Homo-oligomer: A and B are copies of this chain.
């Protein structure tokens, strides 16, 4: 393993072979199911990692912010959906993007386009709330749906492309059967709404969170899927049942800075500005990461008994068995799988591959304000 065991600060390790395997598998799933894979790039936010997707034939992508759209357009991506609700403050930057690439926006509010005109044509997707209750039209609100569709009708600058949903409530599922239930309900609901909007012309359906896309064999009625997290996965996806531990492609390497045998704790450099404060319940405890064994060329088995249990800005408190605390020295580094790889990557701002290469990411504070 090219990673020095003596680090000056936390490092986000990326096992490129695992990540490439994850994306090859998802590309094959999409091909077998006959749907377009339009992966969400908010997870990795990296030109270099994005290029791995091109190698498996991906040409259309999803992003979650204007800054991210601009960052990937810069690297030659020519078909981008901004899967975040459009509002009038976005107009100028959307127009500039639509002049360069095939650009899609998402509408979650019938007044979002009030007073807005684009000089370059823009695709629009109507956002449907299939159960997450974050944004999107209530599928039972027929008047609301017609009003949302009407806000696009007859416009030359905006083309109604289809219905888009994010079944984020799949994150509350546990196991294949519960994920499958969310998946089936999502697609049957969107199919019904498409029938109700038959007068609007042919509409596509776009779905695809990582849990359902990792499990489902078919996507009846859908034209494209938009999973993102699957390129790295994380402990949350493992807990849901969307991946195995061996699929998780990122791990944080954190130097040990103090030992407290009396409390059964180690302290590492690795806090909220590295892992984010996203936590999950694990065996009745709130955790921010679980350790994995270091191997000669990366990492291997999970150590579910070595847990990140508290974080402050730079410090991570690790609950560990007595033998681990006793044999550890200041400066040793421990490896942790993150609870939420999207937020961990966003916080870290770069990757180090197991071959020792540094991969950049979109800068913090990017964008026009």
* A binding-site residues for B, Cβ under 8 Å: 6-9, 11, 42, 64-67, 84-90, 92-93, 108-109, 111-112, 114, 133-136, 138, 168, 255-259, 262-263, 267, 269, 272-273, 276-279, 310, 312-315, 317, 329-331, 333, 342-343, 346-350, 352, 358, 360-361, 363-365, 367-369
How many copies, total?
2
Among residues of B, the one whose C-beta sits closest to the C-beta of A112 is B330
Please state if A65 and B314 are interface contacts (CB–CB under 8 Å).
yes
A365 to B362, CA, bound (A): 10
Report the nearest B residue to A267, measured CB to CB: B135
CA distance A65 to B314 in the complex (A): 8
**Which 9 A-B residue pairings sit nearest by Cβ, starting from the closest?**
A349-B365, A364-B364, A349-B364, A88-B331, A85-B257, A277-B277, A350-B365, A87-B331, A108-B258
Question: Of residues A93, A111, A364, which shows the largest number of chain B Cβ atoms within 10 Å of its Cβ?
Answer: A364
Once the chains bind, are A330 and B87 in contact (CB under 8 Å)? yes
Instruction: Please determine whether B276 and A85 come into contact, CB atoms closer than 8 angstroms.
Output: no
Contact across chains for B349 and A369 when beta carbons are under 8 A apart: no
Asked if B267 contacts A343 (CB within 8 A), the reply is no
- Checking B134, B257, B350 against A87 with a beta-carbon cut-off of 8 angstroms, the contacting residue is B257
The chain B residue with its CB closest to the CB of A369 is: B11
Please determine whether B317 and A134 come into contact, CB atoms closer than 8 angstroms: yes
A255 touches B87 (CB 8 A): yes
Cα A250 to Cα B258 in complex, Å, equals: 34
Q: Are A329 and B114 in contact (CB under 8 A)?
A: yes
**New A-B pairs, 5, CB < 8 Å, besides A7-B369, A138-B262:** A8-B93, A89-B255, A114-B330, A272-B343, A273-B343
- Shortest Cβ distance from residue A237 to the other chain B in the assembled complex, whole angstroms: 15
Q: How far is the CA of A350 from the CA of B135 in the complex (A)?
A: 28
Given contacts A66-B9, A317-B134, whether A330 and B365 have CB atoms under 8 Å apart is no
Separation of A278 and B368 alpha carbons in the complex (Å): 26
Name which residue of chain B comes closest to A310, CB basis: B134
6 contacts between A and B (CB under 8 A): A8-B90, A9-B368, A134-B315, A135-B257, A135-B258, A364-B364
Query: Which residues from B are CB-within-8-Å of A89?
Result: 6-9, 255, 331, 333
Checking B42, B93, B258, B350 against A313 with a beta-carbon cut-off of 8 angstroms, the contacting residue is B42
CA distance A42 to B272 in the complex (A): 13
**Judging by beta carbons under 8 Å apart, are A369 and B9 in contact?**
yes
Q: Do B350 and A314 touch across chains, with their CB atoms under 8 A apart?
A: no
Chain B residues within 8 Å of A269, by CB: 84, 87
Residues of B close to A85: CB separation below 8 A: 257-258, 267, 330
Most buried by B among A90, A133, A168, A358: A90
What residues on B are CB-neighbors of A349 within 8 Å?
363-365
